Amino acid sequence: MKKLNYETIKFELREDGIGILTLNRPKRMNAISVQFVEDMNSLFDDLMVNLDCRVVVMRGTLEGKAFCAGLDIKEAPLLGGRRVSEGFKKFKHIDVPELVKRTLYWQNRMAQIVVKMRKTSQPIIALIHGPATGGGFTFAMAADIRLASEAGRFSIGAINIGMSGGDLGGAYFLPRLIGTSRAAELMYTGRYLGAEEAEKMGFVLKVVEEDKLLDSALELAGEMLTKSPLGLRMTKEALNMTMNAPSLETMINLDNRAQTLCTTSKDFTTSMQAFIEKKEPKFPLR
């Protein structure tokens, strides 16, 4: 099992091609810090070109009691790195242009994680064992599939602290995942969405016991590993394009391109032979 070293996350690539990404800031409920942002960006830059990794399982360390509690306000990156209490006392003295510049940089850097989660070719299965708030909620939205424990819950967060409910692409994802009316209610109120309610509306695939979350994800990921690696990557690309396709014809042209590429690959030959022989296909790591 290959391990990559980071300060705030852990990543282990299993021999079968499943990557286990663990958000690892247990003392801060796996909240988003400056180093966390840099580690996540670095990891997904690597995954963009890592064909050995076929599926990613994303979770928060259980000791953190949350999937991800959003921005770690104790770091106060928007207030120049001062402690929050000190920062707000001196807020009226902050150089506004400097604050705007710092905020925009920070927002863009966090948002790049979400963009890369969608651009990377590996399907991402998110395991929500506790609260997923703010940016943590958006990470869950950016995943392809979500599994939750009964303690899993979701909240926009930013709307409750004087900011916009549209944060890091949440206003893009949420209406597409659960419909505009439900998304608007959650974004305007900032209330928590529980795991069972999330399952009923289709946001969460299923709710399982906390100690069975990883096993459930590995079972699902294992099923994906029986599919053509190229076909799986092309399928995620098609799902991404469907979000913004201007017409049916555009999607048909994309599908035609994907099928043509797939049928000329060794993955197709392997899949077809296994299908005919009623065997499970074996795809070598790249």
Which tens digit of pLDDT belongs to each residue from 164-219? 888 888 888 999 999 999 999 999 999 999 999 999 999 999 999 999 999 999 99
Q: Locate CATH 3.90.226.10 in the chain.
A: 2-224
- Distance, in Å, from the CA atom of 23 to the CA atom of 259, rounded to the nearest integer, reads 36
Looking at per-residue pLDDT, the higher value among 231 and 86 belongs to: 231
**Is the CB of residue 148 less than 8 Å from the CB of residue 198?**
yes
How far apart, in Å, are the Cα atoms of 83 and each of 25, 26, 75, 99? 19, 20, 7, 15
The pLDDT value given to residue 98: 67
pLDDT at 3 over 70: no
**What pLDDT, in 10s, does the model give residues 201-215?**
999 999 999 999 999
Average pLDDT score, the chain: 86
Instruction: Give the single-character DSSP code of 68.
Output: B
User: Bridge partners of 128?
Assistant: 148
The pLDDT value given to residue 140: 97
**Is the CB of residue 155 less than 8 Å from the CB of residue 189?**
no
Q: Locate CATH 1.10.12 in the chain.
A: 228-276
Model confidence at 53, in pLDDT bands (50, 70, 90)?
very high
2-224: CATH class? alpha beta
- Distance, in Å, from the CA atom of 7 to the CA atom of 27, rounded to the nearest integer, reads 13
Q: CB-based contacts of 153: which residues, under 8 Å, 6+ apart? A: 128, 130, 131, 132, 192, 193, 194, 195
pLDDT at 88 over 50: no
Angle, helices 180-189 vs 170-178, to 10°: value is 130
Q: What are the start-end ranges of the E strands in the chain?
A: 2-4, 9-13, 18-23, 55-60, 124-128, 131-133, 145-148, 153-155, 193-194, 206-207
pLDDT at 148 over 70: yes
CA angle 240, 246, 248 (to 5 degrees): 85
Structure tokens belonging to residue 207: 């709710």
228-276: CATH class? mainly alpha
The pLDDT value given to residue 283: 81
**Is the CB of residue 251 less than 8 Å from the CB of residue 245?**
yes
Length of the chain measured in residues: 286
pTM of the predicted protein model:
0.86
**What pLDDT, in 10s, does the model give residues 61-82?**
989 899 999 988 777 555 444 4
Instruction: Give the single-character DSSP code of 144.
Output: S
Model confidence at 26, in pLDDT bands (50, 70, 90)?
very high
**Is the CB of residue 60 less than 8 Å from the CB of residue 22?**
yes
- Distance, in Å, from the CA atom of 211 to the CA atom of 166, rounded to the nearest integer, reads 33
The pLDDT value given to residue 268: 75
